[in-house]
Structure 1
Amino acid sequence: MKDQKLSSVIPAVWHSQLRRMRTLLSGYKRAYTIQGALLNLSELASGIKEMREFYPAIHQLLNQQLRADNFYVALIDQDGTFRPEYFADEKDQQILLDAPSEAFASGLTGYVARRGKALLCDEAGFHRLVQEGQIQAQGSAPMHWLGVPLCRGERVIGVMAIQSYQADAGYNEHDLALISHIAIHTVTAIDRVRSRELLEQTVRERTQQLRNTNDSLQHEIRERSHAEMLQAALYKISELTAASSDMSSFYREVHSILSELLQADNCYIALLDKDGQQLNFPFYLDQYSPTQKQRPLQRGLTEYVIRSGEARLVTQVQLQQLIQSGEVERQVSNPGYQPMCTSWLGAPLQIGNQILGVIALQCYDNSHQYSEQELVLLKFVSQHIAVAISRKLTTEQQKQHHEDLEKRIFERTRELRQTNLFLRLQVEERKKAEEQLFFEANHDALTGLANRQMFLMQLKQRFSYRNRDSATNFALLFIDLDRFKLINDTLGHHIGDLFLIEVSRRLQQAVREHDLVARLGGDEFVILLGKIQHEVDAEEVAERLIESVRQPMNLEGNQVCSGASIGIACYQNWYQHADELLRDADAAMYQAKSFGRNRFVIFNDSMRSQMLQELGQEQALQQAVQQRQFQPQLRPLIAAESTDLVGYQASLSWLQADATQQQELSRQATQAGLMPDIELMLLQQLSSMSSQWEQGAVLCLSLSPAWLSNHLLLDKLTQQLHQSALPLHQLVLGFTEADLLRLSATQLANLHQLKRLGVRLSLDQFAAEVAALGLLVQYPFDFVVLDTAFSRSLPRSESRRQLLQVLQQLAQSRQFKLIAGHAEQKEIQQLMAQAGGYYFTEQPVAVAVQQSGLFQQLA
């Protein structure tokens, strides 16, 4: 009979264990799926250069993990406008393309952005939100919709969503967890891709600037060539002036030289006689008119230039206008056929204020039209021709002119050479900048060690070689420095930087040359030990590193002592990804820190189980925050002298937690970064009960130090206090003595800012360790709450009663009230009555409420 009972029990145990193993296997698969998706997302952010390629890659990544045929990403600009970055929808593709920002703001997208929380919604939930007025229907109604906010810190910068129009293609909590993790890392990936895109755009702009500079240089080179050509022409004219004795040959040479610079098929030179009444033509070349020798002054174009004293460019239209106005009369020297010129260019031959004559060029067809530049050129050349004609009068002037021109050309040539040299230097600087950019992208700017990107690349490369080398054996050391924050806060950031540099030097000296030392950030370092024989080799290196770091350092006259906590993870065949090895080394390092300073811990299977347990507890806490499973628990505050109820102390209570979770609530919430959210929730709940408070009753609430050390959190707290219906003078915000002693003076200054808002401040758990009287003198506390152990020991400790008297005198001078954290004994109550203080009691809230008439609904 006993055997039968035993046989029936054993299968039941097996089935229970089998179910448990299946549950664990399912959790491992989900974690593996999420880790794989995040790894792929990291690879996308590292490989893709433009945002237009990034979002389709994310879409493809989601499709590999779940049903995401309908997917979009909408970002929120600084002014709150929604901007669709990417969308793919089988029904409303065109609607999404033309949708304004208000459509996203009033729909499910805006609903998720306003709440800052993920939303898993089916068709019924969608219609319910529409009926409640939470959203407005936009486009086709989805059968299933899943959206998560994209957050940068506390700020929502966009929404990522997928939806399905098929009833059998729904989403579950696992899909929500997957897309939530992807959304968290998508923000970082977006910033990385955009930073890379901005860098490439900057490089392109700089390259374009260099091209523009090169084009400008080429233009200047052409101008220089033209100047050299002009200078050559002037040199020839100068040589003619000195060598030619026959004026006819001189004019022919002048025309030949001029033909190299301008269109001069029809050209003549007209000179005034001594009386200024006749025009002589020492050179006349025209394809339609015969050679002229001389004629009296008339109203031709030549006389028009002499009258104005300036070079003129006359087109055919302008010539007609001059003839019609009577300024010019057309002179026809060939009665048979002489067409009107289509473009005429003339310049006076002038020395000082004296006009010697005119040099003119003309065309009779539209094959060439003179330009303003040619006008300037002819005007310039005409001056030298005039100088050539009056050689005796202008020899010295011509010489000086050539010297000045040579000087200008020399200066310009020197400038061009300097510009060319500057461009070459810029090209070299650009090469150096590219090399520097590559180095900075893969090395830490402070220590010169490899950074996270370079280290992960080397670690992944080591994993890729494991299939080629069956004897692969290496280890990863994760190092965290002890007391770095204290060194940085007390001695300054400069000494902190010198400390990190010295530690980096010691780490490099303690390992082999082929081992990789990298800085991940802050005071975290990693070392990749390659080609080790046994785990004991890694242990020896860790001991050597700890001994090296713990040696005192002399930094600019300051002796600094520190230590190192090291986590070791040795490569095993079951590791599939490099991130797994880094994760386990990190976990071992935290285990080493929990044991004390200057220790190392090797990762093992028991630590993995503990990590999974911690992860489960943290997920339960996050779920409790989302479901608002917290409410205030009240303790009465009694005036010791009159025994009247003057207020309450509100503490945190987790409704659905067991004893262990309730006991570990503060530590886990602080470690997960959720304590500010929980405390803000608690403050909102107390504010909603403001109508139930009697006038003058105070409410004491202890807060975490994160509100003082983070400006964003302080701003959020300030905003909540402004919106609170609870009178601020009845609210007492407290911070523990131990927390305040760990903050810097700058962070403690935020206590004054809270005081200016109108709330009261309390110093909680005072005298738990050190009894820092300096805090009471420097900061405006209204209440000082004595530590519970301190309060209980007052009847039997003379030294602590003496300290209480000191605090009583200080309270009178600084105008704050003392509160005993625990005063169930009559002796303690009498001591607090003598000090004019208060005490907290463990009396049930319902009894206290009945006596005072406060909080009837809570009771």
Structure 2
Amino acid sequence: MKGITEPGKQLRQAQIKMRRLTLLAQRYQQAYISQGALLKLSELASTISDMRDFYPAIHSMVAEFLHAENFYVVFYDSDSQQYSPQYFSDEKDQQMIADVPSSAFSSGLTGYVARTAKPLLCDVTQFEKLVADGHIKAQGSPCAHWLGIPLCRGDRVIGVMAIQSYNAEQLYTNTDLLLFNSIGGHTITALDRVKSRELLEDTVRQRTRQLEVINQSLQREIKERTSAEQLQAALYRISELTASSRDMQSFYRAVHQVLSGLMHADNCYIALLDPDKAKLTFPFYLDQYSPPARERPLSRGFTEYVIRCADARLINEQQAIKLVEAGEIKRGMADPTKPGRHSTSWLGAPLLIDQQVIGVIALQSYDKSHSYGDNELNILRFVSQHIAVAIQRKLTTEQQKRHQEELERKVFESTRELRQTNLFLRLQVEERKKAEQKLFFEANHDALTSLANRQMFLQQLKQQYALYKRQPQQSIALLFIDLDRFKLINDTLGHHIGDAFLIEVSKRLQSTVREHDLVARLGGDEFVVLLTSLLHEQDAEEVADRIIERIRQPFLLQGQQVQSGASIGIAYFNTHHSQAEALLRDADAAMYQAKSMGRNRFVIFNETMRERMLQALTMEQVVQQALEQQQFNAIFEPVLCGQARSLLGYEVHTQWQHPQFGPQHDFNQYAADAGLMPQIEQLILQQACQQLNRSDDCSGLMTVRLSTGHLLQPELFDWLKQQVQTVTQKHRLCLAFTERELLQAGNDVSQQLQYLRKQDLRLAIHQFAAETAPMGLLIQQLFDFVKLAPAFCRQLVRNEQRRQLLQMLQTLALHYKFRLLADGVDSPELLNLLLAEGCCFMQGKYVAELISAEQLAKTPSLVFKQLA
């Protein structure tokens, strides 16, 4: 110390003093920065009420004092040891934070700070040491410097706030650590204040919403009470209308005014059912686009839909479209001849009396800006009950009034008649006779055609029978007439056209007979003509010819041209008839015989026909018994590929093995009349399927004929689907349907045929060209084989036109990929002609003889394999 000079001491003291001043200035500067940060933090806590805005504000504040481009806050739950990031802003790892699990923070620097509860200033060297010592794991993008502090509430760590730098030139100091730690200590306090404010404002919002709900409920209750008062007033008004209205029209107008006070009712109508519930009348109809609706029979309108439902209905445009597609309604029923605008919103309610619908009240809107809702629906449903009672009461009052007026009128007329009894006695007697004649006429004549009815006809028939018994030389004939296509005319064009048709038929029938002959209508489309005093029996046949010719001529009914025909049965009185009704029975039987022979003709009854009827009835019973005893067997007819002399397969025929009479084949008509053909076909198909499953040959085709009833009737089609599933080789089974039945079924069987095709079954047309040879069936590409009728094939040898048709069918077969199969090949000449024309598949008597049983067993069936 002695060596230090005085000036040296002074310099040293000055340096020490300068360092103290510098340190003091740094501390003051740090205190100033800390104070500014705390003031800024306090200001944030006072102004921010949403936590989503708080963290970005903290980030911005820290960035004012420190390098904090990369900043995040993570909360930590010490009980569950779960980390939940609250805010994350990073220039490198921003995109991947969404995929990072919360558990990843526990193994990094964040978890390390949370566990130690101490601030950490970590550079690259220290980071690598912590990793090497196993305290942490390397995660995310490596940084140059990392600064993190624990967020504590009391002695408990609730989270970590950190900043990091990826630039080695921007490093943090202990001063930055102290400042950041100071900010973090006060962040918890600010966070609690913000959360408290957020909870308070949320509570205020919830309370406000509750008050709004209560207010809306009060407003709704007020509105409901107001509506209820209006509704009650309307009901009182409707009740008063029954007494105050002068007539029904004024009553309906007043009801409409009441409804207008409750809802939009510019378009309104009331429809009432007639006593028979077959027609609708419209006593009140107000519509801005349509004229008043006329009386009409029940159909598929909106009004009838409400009647069927017996409940109020609200129908908008979309619901109307769905109802139309479902077939529930049909639009434009107000005036079908003049379709008008369709309503956009329709509201209707039934008028109920004792749970019975007497009519409908309906409102509709054509403007999309106004649509009815559930409120109007409920109002109309409620009001309609009172309107129905009021209408019923008013109608009853009106009816009583009319009855009273009628009674007064009758009393007046009776009094006047009593005064003039002596003067008008003869007139009264004559009028009574006319009334009796009218009653007699109505009781004995058809109300529609004015012809004699069944009662009068039977009476006249008995009288003629009694006369015939006394005078057998008198020739009497009965013509029983059935009209063709009447049901189709009636169902298609309507009952009014059907009635007009029957009236015109009655006029034509009367024009074909003599004055003393009797024309009567028994009912429906059945007429009879009783011809008396015939000189010759041929006279009845001439009358029948005239009737057939007159009925065949077109009918022009209300602008519609209609074609029909007549099937007539003729029966003559003879000594074998024990009673008059037997003649009617015989004529009826002859008429059915005429219908079965093709209609538009007459048939004369004979004893053979009666025997056939009895025989047919007996045969139906025998066929029924044979089916119960399973006397029907499948027999197999070979089908030949004539070109290769190989076997295509077999066609299955039905044979009735009668115990006494042996094999029977001609029983189809009896089975059809008894309705047993479907059961017989099912039995034969089962036998054919069993034969297919037992056969070792995998190439032979087996064809089974079925009626289209198996396609049209759901229960038969379900059975068919189950049966074909039992066949292991479905491609060998071919189902054939006749041309005539397919034409009659039309498109109703298309889906069923498509289903069978998808099951790998073969399909065939049977008896093609037996009548019309419709090409439309061929181009549908549903059938694998087209089997030509035997009659058509036998005409090929001598008929050039038939051969040309065969050539055209061959061309179609190549184009639409089906095979022609000729039936009825009974001669080598026909077989060679078919081969020359390119038709190689055939069957018949000659084909069965051509191939012996041994050849059938040895010849490989390559044709079917090519088709498969």
Give the TM-score of the pair, scaled to structure 1: 0.40
